[in-house]
């Protein structure tokens, strides 16, 4: 009798630096980016080392801005067997773009990433999960520009993003197309979806909740999950910004010193692969 293998989940990294997060937009102008200490290369290399030690493959949703400045980082992502995907050029939320601006942004970034990697870029993730009920036109643009999937909708209610009525698992939002939207993982609690796919929520909740949630999604709902985090989240020594609101300060800095150990535990407790392999290739 064959033994059922555990479901694989998608491990994803949003490759951006600490000063590029949406919550810092009121405090750090884009004109300052070049003058600030850059830490994204070192932190992403550390993540690549962690994955290499465990033979884990992941998807790296990478800013074009970062790729242009650190082409060797992109080349290592590919050399190590990971999937390279698009996170836009400079972390502009889709809610702040016209359809024309969005098309230019994703097309430009796709070309940059493909030129550096020599690989077709199939996936896209919006800055701050900024595709929702009011701008679903963005999915049509992505399909027209040659992307095969998006992971940009978070089916939760949140003050900055979210589409709580969206399907919780992969769906095809465009009639007559194989293009896929693959939402970030949530777990159903009563009538609400609780976020459990990573980022600040992963740092806020006790680890035992995240472990339970992924086990529930895998073993009860029989679905693969998606986990995401950022290179700056394993960097408690990053430069601290002043003048932040209490909410922003808490969200950004909470439990950074615990994040790497929690990631290591998550890598031990579950099986992982790329978005492409799990959702497109069905490996």
- Phi then psi dihedrals of residue 84, to 5 deg: -100, 130
| CATH number of the CATH domain containing 81 | 3.20.20.370
Over range 1-16, report the average pLDDT: 82
Residue 5 has pLDDT above 80, yes or no: no
Q: Determine the pLDDT at residue 167.
A: 95
Render pLDDT for 62-104 as a digit per residue (tens, 0 to 9). Answer: 999 999 999 999 999 999 999 999 999 999 999 999 999 999 9
Q: Determine the pLDDT at residue 160.
A: 65
Q: Is 165 left (phi over 0), alpha (psi -120 to 50) or beta?
A: alpha
Q: How far apart are CA 209 and CA 30, in angstroms?
A: 36
Residue 3 has pLDDT above 80, yes or no: no
234 found inside a domain: yes
Q: Determine the pLDDT at residue 282.
A: 61
DSSP letter at 198? B
Strand pairing category for 149-150 and 123-124: parallel
CA-based torsion, 36, 42, 44, 46: positive or negative: negative
1 found inside a domain: no
Q: Are 39 and 238 in contact (CB under 8 A)?
A: yes
Q: How far apart are CA 279 and CA 283, in angstroms?
A: 8
Residue 30 has pLDDT above 90, yes or no: yes
Query: 1 falls in which pLDDT band (50, 70, 90)?
Result: very low
Q: In a 3-state reduction of DSSP, which class is residue 219?
A: helix
Structural domain harbouring 205 = 8-280
Selection from 238, 231, 88 nearest residue 151 by Cα:
88
Residue 105 has pLDDT above 60, yes or no: yes
143 found inside a domain: yes
3 found inside a domain: no
Selection from 174, 173, 180, 131 nearest residue 281 by Cα:
180
180 found inside a domain: yes
Q: Determine the pLDDT at residue 157.
A: 76
* Percent over 70 (pLDDT), the chain: 96
Q: How far apart are CA 21 and CA 277, in angstroms?
A: 28
Residue 191 has pLDDT above 90, yes or no: no
Give the lowest-confidence range in 3-7, 49-53, 134-138, 195-199: 3-7
50 found inside a domain: yes
Q: How far apart are CA 30 and CA 1, in angstroms?
A: 59
147 found inside a domain: yes
46 found inside a domain: yes
Render pLDDT for 202-211 as a digit per residue (tens, 0 to 9). Answer: 999 999 999 9
Number of domains in the chain: 1
Q: How far apart are CA 36 and CA 28, in angstroms?
A: 10
Render pLDDT for 134-172 as a digit per residue (tens, 0 to 9). Answer: 999 999 999 999 999 999 999 987 666 778 889 999 999
């Amino acid at each position: 009798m064959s033994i059922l293998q555990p479901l694989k989940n998608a491990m994803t990294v949003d490759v951006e630096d600490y000063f590029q997060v949406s919550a810092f937009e009121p405090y750090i102008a884009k004109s300052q980016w070049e003058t600030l200490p850059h830490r994204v290369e070192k932190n992403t290399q550390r993540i690549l080392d962690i994955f290499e030690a465990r033979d884990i493959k992941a998807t790296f949703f990478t800013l074009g801005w970062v790729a242009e400045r650190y082409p060797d980082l992109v080349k290592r992502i590919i050399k190590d067997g990971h999937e390279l995907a698009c996170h836009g050029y400079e972390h502009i939320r889709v809610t702040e773009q016209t359809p024309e601006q969005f098309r230019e942004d994703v097309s430009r970034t796709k070309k940059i990433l493909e030129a550096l990697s020599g690989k077709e870029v199939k996936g896209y993730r919006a800055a701050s999960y900024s595709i929702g009920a009011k701008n679903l036109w963005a999915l049509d643009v992505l399909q027209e520009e040659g992307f095969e999937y998006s992971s940009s909708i978070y089916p939760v209610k949140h003050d900055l993003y979210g589409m709580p009525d969206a399907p919780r698992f992969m769906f095809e939002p465009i009639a007559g197309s194989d293009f896929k939207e693959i939402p970030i993982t949530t777990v159903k609690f009563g009538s609400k979806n609780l976020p459990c796919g990573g980022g600040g929520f992963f740092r806020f909740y006790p680890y035992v909740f995240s472990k339970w949630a992924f086990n529930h999604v895998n073993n009860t709902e029989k679905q693969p999950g998606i986990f995401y985090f950022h290179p700056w989240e394993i960097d408690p020594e990053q430069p601290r910004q002043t003048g932040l609101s209490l909410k922003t300060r808490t969200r950004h800095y909470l439990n950074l010193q615990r994040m790497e150990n929690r990631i290591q535990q998550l890598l031990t407790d579950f099986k992982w692969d790329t978005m492409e392999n799990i959702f497109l290739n069905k490996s």
